[in-house]
């Protein structure tokens, strides 16, 4: 296809996605099915508009799919704002750890004993099929950084962490196909390099890089009176590139580092927001002195508080703080009322 044909195909595809988005939102499918169906239509199985052999474009197709997965993993990390010790993370750790290993072992055993495949191919298939794809799983992941649903949170965390569990076994399957037998030498090298080093190194590098760059960006914005704390597109793309390249240079898993970078960036923002909120809370928690308390309810201004003034003042303060007039004071009403009393006492 020439350039005009490519532009026409791209325009039709984007138009279909725009018109179908309202229907897809309420259906258990994702936009990936539209891409797949559209590709079948324009390919050799359809109208034959695509005539290029995939072998000829395999190189840039690999990099294109890598970029798509990297962006998806980074966005998944940005959506996870809970601290790592929060109970919502437990299901993610279980799914990406023991459950993932059990799935790989189960699929490998099924392929070997039921289908008669070699152990190398069986392990490769198990490691390929077991993880939750971060792109295809977007429908059941957290919708935004304020989504606290533990089921969605667990699936989102697993979709990012499963690369650290599955990738080593993909490599193990390929090595087993090449070596044909399990030998201590290459198995030890695989375990030390691909598992013991690459997984924690990728997580640590990405998370630390995300937190450091996030804190630096927040500091620069605060210094220049920019109230925004959310990452812009340039910062996100830069962090994706640096995390991936850095992980590859030290022999760690790049995909895992990019997910952790998004997570670290979000946690840096949460720390800054929490610090800002704590500062406001401390400023509003100033205690009233006895003189200031008397001044608030001393209606005649003689500096002496009578029983009638105390009763009347207490009822008046309660009525002023009870914004919704339900006869109860919640935390927000108490905080707002306290601030108003401080203001009146200072006048």
Please give the full DSSP string across 110-174, using - where no structure is assigned: HHHHTT---HHHHHHHHHHHSSPPTTGGGGGS-SSTT---HHHHHHHHHHHHHHHHHHHHHHHHH
Rounded to 5°, angle at Cα 184 from 107 and 98:
35
- Within 10 A of 318 (CB to CB), how many other CB atoms are there? 14
pLDDT tens-digit readout, 126-180? 998 887 665 555 666 676 656 667 777 777 788 778 877 788 899 999 999 988 8
The pLDDT of residue 335 is above 90: no
Band of pLDDT at residue 110, cut at 50, 70 and 90 = very high
pLDDT for 150 equals 75
Res 323 pLDDT > 60: yes
pTM: 0.69
Which pLDDT score, from 0 to 100, does residue 347 have? 53
Confidence label for 107 from pLDDT (cuts 50, 70 and 90): very high
pLDDT in tens, 82-99: 888 888 788 888 888 888
- 115 burial via Cβ count (<10 Å: 0-12, 13-18, 19+): exposed
pLDDT at 109 over 90: yes
Q: Is the model more confident about 163 or about 65? A: 65
Section 66-75 average pLDDT: 86
Q: Which residue has the higher pLDDT, 280 or 159?
A: 159
């Amino acid at each position: 296809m020439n350039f005009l044909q490519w532009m026409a195909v791209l325009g039709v595809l984007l138009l279909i996605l725009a018109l179908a988005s309202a229907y897809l939102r309420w259906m258990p499918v994702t936009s990936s099915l539209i891409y797949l169906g559209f590709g079948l239509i324009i390919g050799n199985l359809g109208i034959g508009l695509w005539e290029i052999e995939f072998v000829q474009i395999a190189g840039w197709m690999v990099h294109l799919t890598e970029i798509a997965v990297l962006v998806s993993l980074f966005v998944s990390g940005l959506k996870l704002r809970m601290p790592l010790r929060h109970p919502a993370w437990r299901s993610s750790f279980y799914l990406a750890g023991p459950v993932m290993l059990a799935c790989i072992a189960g699929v490998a055993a099924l392929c070997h004993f039921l289908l008669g495949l070699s152990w190398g191919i069986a392990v490769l298939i198990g490691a390929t099929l077991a993880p939750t794809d971060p792109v295809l799983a977007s429908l059941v992941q957290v919708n935004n950084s304020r989504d606290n649903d533990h089921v969605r949170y667990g699936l989102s965390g697993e979709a990012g962490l499963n690369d650290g569990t599955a990738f080593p076994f993909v490599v193990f399957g390929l090595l087993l196909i090449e070596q044909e037998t399990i030998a201590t030498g290459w198995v030890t090298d695989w375990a030390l390099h691909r598992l013991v080093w690459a997984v924690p190194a990728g997580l640590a590098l990405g998370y630390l890089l995300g937190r450091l760059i996030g804190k630096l960006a927040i500091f620069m914005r605060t210094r220049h009176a920019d109230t925004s704390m959310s990452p812009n597109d340039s910062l996100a793309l830069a962090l994706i590139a640096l995390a991936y390249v850095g992980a590859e240079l030290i022999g760690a898993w790049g995909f895992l580092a990019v997910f952790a970078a998004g997570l670290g960036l979000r946690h840096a923002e949460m720390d800054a927001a929490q610090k800002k909120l704590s500062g406001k809370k401390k400023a509003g928690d100033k205690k009233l002195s006895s003189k200031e308390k008397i001044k608030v309810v001393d209606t005649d201004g003689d500096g002496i508080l009578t029983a009638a003034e105390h009763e009347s003042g207490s009822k008046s303060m309660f009525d002023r703080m009870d914004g919704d007039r339900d006869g109860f004071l919640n935390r927000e009403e108490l905080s707002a009322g306290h601030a108003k009393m401080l203001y009146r006492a200072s006048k």
